[in-house]
Each structure stands twice: as structure tokens, then as C-alpha cells.
Amino acid sequence: MGLALLKEHWKAGRSLSVIDSLSAGFRFLGWRLELLVIPVALDLLLWLAPQFSIAPMTSELANWYRQMSAIEEMPPDMAIMTQQVADGLESLGANFNLLSSLVSTTLLHVPSLLISGVQPSTLPDIEITTPGEALVFWLVFSLLGLLLGVAYLGLAARHLPIGAMSGLSGRVFIGALIRQWLQVIAFILLVALLLLAIYVPLSVAISLLALLSPAFSSFLAVASGGLSLIIFFYLYFATAGIVMDNLSALGAIKRSVQVVRANFFATLGFAVLSTLIGLGISLLLLQMANTALWVVTPAILLNAYVGTGLAMALLIFYRTRYISSEAEIVR
């Protein structure tokens, strides 16, 4: 779907189908390779820069669990479980890189092929030895990652003929990015408070019910996980609203709920299909990247291209569905 047809749908207040949105996303991306700079640079950083490793902390904690499992009074089942926890902690420390906090894949749709650390740097690790240091580095990297994610999504929105970011340049664009970055942080804090308000009393209730009915408490625990999926699904377009329409955090939450409620099955279809495409391509490219070092860079570029096309498709789908919903209300 080309520019003229998208503008026609926009002016007429008509939404695009899932397939048309995906097609339009890649058509608008075209050969705008500058949109790939941020995801490609982040993947190269994860590949070539020293890892910020928390292995010393997790190894110390894993040793404590192993000592606990060696206590004679501990039941065999509990000892096996404790040993598994220790192995999991060591695996986490060996594979987790604090630099991965720079990539906001879920929240701001920045594609990354190497976020899982499958191609670690050959340089010596920078070892983080205390929880305080780990928290500081994680916080700094996360905030910087959110800013990079907002810039990435803002640059994509800037190349679309719809939304408040369309055609912005210079100081206006940079000022908008700073405001949106602050609103994304506010959105995260609001969602965290919402989840705390829901799950703290729910956890207490599940713990009390476990004394009376373990089976029912297990059911509630599983249901609480499903509730999280529903909450995040209804917030699917929140960051798109912040970046594309300069909405406040609260306004973006309301807008996302409104759009998802009016287009529930279409949104579900888009989320599932785009996720399957992104994951399928990433898994295929990871297998290719593991065959030879010279394949890693082309794989990073291709993954960034596919991920950016999907991100632009998300913005198009969100904006045309919102316009369509508003047109229906007017009619």
C-alpha cells in the first residue's frame, strides 16, 4: 500500500487491515536505512563491547544454595530443587549482560538480534560485584535505553504522513523526544503502581487460601498470570500513542484501551502475526549468525530492517484504527 492510498484511507477515516498495515510499514520503510542506525548500533555494541557481568554476585549466591543443599537434614526433593536454583543462578550470571538494558524491545519495539548474548564479546568482562553497583548500572542503561527507544520510534513516526510527529525537524523534534521520554518513564511508573495495587493484596489472598484450599489457590495463581497478559494487551498501543501523538502517559493509557477495545480481534491478530514474523526471522538469523562470524553483521542488518518495518506497521495500524474509531463516533 503506497503513500497516496494510505492518505486516502486516513482522510476518509478508514482503518487498514492487518496485512495492509504490515505491507504499508515495509513500503514506507523502503530504503530509509537511517532508521536502522539505532538498532544496528545497539547490536554491534552488545557484540563488540565488554560485557557488564553480574557473574560474581550470582556465583556467590549459587554457592550459598549449594551449601544449603548439602545439609543432611534437608529432604532429598528440597535438596534437588535447591541445587537446580544454584545452577540457574550460575547460568543467569554467565549469560546476562547489563548492557542489554539499553535495548527496549518490548516497550518501544527496538529490534535486537543479540540481546540474548549469543555472540558475546571477546574482550574481558567488566565484573559487577555488589547489588548497589548492579542497580546503578541497570538504572542508567535502562533510562538511556528508553531515550534511544523513543528516538527510534520517533524517527519512524516522522516518516509517516499521519500523527503529530509527521515532518517534524530540528529543535521541535528533539524537544518532542525529551517530553515523550519523560512520559514513557511516567507510563512505566503508573503501570508498576497499578500492578502493585493489584498483586500485593492478591498475593496475600492466595497465600491465605493456600492454607484452606491449595488447589483453588493454585488456580488463582494461574489466573493472576492471565490477568497480567490482559492488562499488557490493553496497553499494547500506549507507547505508540506517546510517541506518535505526543500524549501524556495517562492519555496514552486511555487511548490504548479505547483502540484495543474497539478493535480487539484485529489487534490480537496484528500482535500475534507481527510477533510470529519477528521471532521467526530472528531465530532463523540467529542460526545463520552462529555458522560463521562474517554472517553476524548481515544478520544484524536484516533483523533491524524486518523489525523496523514491523514497528512502522504498528504505528500505521494504531493510527488508522484510532482515526476509524473516531470517525465511527462522529457518524
| pLDDT by 10-residue block (mean), the chain, 331 residues | 55 71 90 91 92 84 76 70 78 83 94 80 82 92 96 91 75 90 97 90 76 70 81 95 94 95 94 94 90 89 96 93 67 49
Helix (H) or strand (E) holding 26: helix 18-29
> For residue 110, how many C-alpha atoms fall within 13 Å in the half-sphere facing its CB?
28
- In sequence order, what are the residues at sequence separation of 6 or more whose Cβ sits closer than 8 angstroms to the Cβ of residue 119? 46, 47, 289, 296
**Residue from 247, 261, 277 nearest 321 by CA:** 261
At 53 the pLDDT is 86
- CB of 57 within 8 A of CB of 130? yes
Within 10 angstroms of residue 193's Cβ, the number of other Cβ atoms is 10
What is the DSSP code string of 98-127? GGGGG--HHHH----SSTT-SS--SSPPEE
Helix (H) or strand (E) holding 53: strand 52-53
Q: Which three cell numbers stand for residue 75?
A: 529432604
Rounded Cα distance, 171 and 177, in Å: 10
Count of residues in the chain: 331
Rounded Cα distance, 295 and 122, in Å: 17
Helix (H) or strand (E) holding 129: none
Rounded Cα distance, 209 and 153, in Å: 45
Within 10 angstroms of residue 145's Cβ, the number of other Cβ atoms is 21
Rounded Cα distance, 266 and 260, in Å: 8
At 170 the pLDDT is 74
- In sequence order, what are the residues at sequence separation of 6 or more whose Cβ sits closer than 8 angstroms to the Cβ of residue 42? 102, 103, 110, 112, 148
At 72 the pLDDT is 67
Strands 126-127 and 52-53: parallel
The model's pTM is: 0.87
**Residue from 66, 60, 128 nearest 96 by CA:** 128
- CB of 180 within 8 A of CB of 246? yes
The separation between the first and the last C-alpha atoms of the chain, rounded to the nearest angstrom, is: 26
DSSP 97: B
At 74 the pLDDT is 67
Rounded Cα distance, 219 and 291, in Å: 44
